[in-house]
Amino acid sequence: NVAEWILELDRGHGIPWHGNYSSWLEQKEQRLRVEEREREALRKTLEHELEWVRQNPKARQAKSKARLQRYEELASREFQQRNETSEIYIPPGERLGEHVIEVRGVRKAYGERLLIDDLSFESAARRHRRDHRSKRRGQDDAA
């Protein structure tokens, strides 16, 4: 077991699962089956209500208005479920330092052929564009 728990991100919601990957897959399959049955039941209800609204005699107007409102609520719920967001926004974190990566003494061979021997380098963080623009503006003003 590599993971003790899994956080599934589904339609904008986090669903925690305590257990391993195979047990998570089993519960997800079961949850999807339940959701499919619920969607099918909602679809049938919407179909039935729409048919009733179309065939309804005008003599039962009060009941008709209530059923029409119920139909609209059900249709709205189905629309919302279909159009839930599938995006997750993760805001940028604060800057943690100037070094991005440091590599020392890397060696790489492919079979007997030595490709890289004793590679070392550092990479520093890039400065913000705002800084570059303000420096450029200062140079332009001085000229």
Predicted TM-score of the model (pTM): 0.43
Mean per-residue pLDDT, 96-122: 86
How many angstroms separate the Cα of 22 from the Cα of each of 1, 26, 110, 127?
10, 6, 36, 44
Q: Is the pLDDT assigned to residue 39 strictly greater than 60? A: yes
Residue 33: per-residue pLDDT: 95
Which of the pair, 13 or 34, is modelled with greater confidence?
A: 34
Residue 133: per-residue pLDDT: 44
pLDDT band at residue 97 using 50, 70 and 90 as cut-offs: confident
**What would the two tokens of residue 45 be?**
């209800």
Which of the pair, 40 or 131, is modelled with greater confidence?
A: 40
Residue 89: per-residue pLDDT: 64
